[in-house]
Amino acid sequence: MLKNLFGYGDMWNVSGEYGWDQSSKIDIGVYLPRLKSIPTPLTARASILSEDWLKFSSYKQRLLGLKFGLLSTWHHNLSYDLAWRTLTDPSQMASESIRRQLGHNLLSALSYAYKIDKRDSEFRPTKGYAFVSTSQVGGLWKNGLRFFRQEFDGRGAVPLGFCNAALNVGISAGVILPLSRGFMELSSPVPDRFYLGGLSSPVCSLGVISSLLGFKTRGVGPSEPRRSVPGESDAAASTGRDYLGGDLAVSAFADLSFDLPLKLFRDNGIHGHAFLCAGNLAKLSEGEFKNFSFPEFRRTFRSSAGVGIVFPTSLFRIELNYCHILKKHEHDHGKSGIQFSFSLE
């Protein structure tokens, strides 16, 4: 990080990330706390993002983009994204729905977020509440991806009066729809849909619809068979399925945190917790809304429960959990057992 290069209190930084499923990101950005008569901070970032989703969705994504922060206050955030996105399938076995979206496209989107966070801690809340609403409109440039995406996330924590225990509960929902004439017959962008599963703690994932402990990342929801390889044996031609994500997503969790009896643990913030997670995805685009019903959506919720120990550090929070799958469906990737969860602080 470099500070005040041009005398405006500007801060420049370069960062790199490497995450699960061979995802990587390099970006450079600048932060201006105030520029002339503009009353709010301004930010700008240029980034290169690479993600490998061949295992679950048969595509790789490469994104070269710019992000501009236009408004930033305690509760409001307005930003603009401009990016050139490329989707490829080196395996040449992608399902029909994925193949239709391969190639190059332009992402031009305006995002607005409203946030309230009255919790006493972001990583072990014992009281308070939080709410985030995020709206995104894509297709501001001609020939760009046209869609509307809306997310809500609300949660609260209450103390229970024993062993420093607290109960956290939360519910999240989101929907994405194409924006064009006859939009319900069109397809929404696969990378911008909602996915459930992964290794992040639901307690720390404010504003994110993804956490469903015990299930693989992108291992839940609508899926489609991959195409077979011509000339291969029956065993080799059994290529699995592509997970397509959902246009509608709902997830919820309950987490009971409590102190452990050893003083050494309490002095270092190490504590125990028990949790329950549930969620579901549904496809609405490409005419699938005609087959959607709320009773069926409620009946097909996936769920898991478990207990674990939380190890907070100065950089991130680690959870060692035992997860038990309560409900899953035929093609879901989820299993009971020991799981590590990580959340950046």
Task: Dump pLDDT digits (tens) for 152-190.
Answer: 999 999 999 888 999 999 999 999 998 877 777 888 899
In a domain, 233, yes or no: no
* Count of Cβ atoms closer than 10 Å to residue 250 Cβ: 22
Is 23 within a domain? yes
- Which residues span the domain enclosing 27? 2-224+241-344
pLDDT at res. 127: 94
pLDDT for res 148: 93
% pLDDT > 90, the chain: 51
Task: Give the count of domains, the chain.
Answer: 1
Q: For residue 139, what are its two tokens?
A: 């297709």
Mean pLDDT of 56-64: 92
Higher pLDDT, 236 or 53: 53
The average pLDDT across 51-66 equals 91
Residue 204 lies in a domain: yes
234 assigned to some structural domain? no
Let me know: does 134 contact 207? Beta carbons within 8 Å: yes
Residue 230 lies in a domain: no
CB 165 within 8 A of CB 256: yes
> Residue 107: which residues within 8 A CB-CB, separation 6 or more?
63, 65, 81, 82, 83, 84, 85, 138, 144, 145
Q: Which of 205, 200, 196, 197 is nearest to 153 (CA)?
A: 205
Q: Has residue 232 been placed in a domain? A: no
Residue 100: CATH number of its domain: 2.40.160.50
Residue 139 lies in a domain: yes
155's tokens: 């949660």
pTM beyond 0.85, yes or no:
yes
- Give the model's pLDDT for residue 343: 77
Residue 251 lies in a domain: yes
Tokens standing for 279? 């969620």
Q: What pLDDT score was predicted for residue 141?
A: 78
| CA distances from residue 323 to 153, 237, 327, 336 in whole angstroms, order as listed | 23, 33, 12, 5
C-alpha distances out from residue 287 to 179, 185, 242, 269, Å: 14, 5, 19, 50
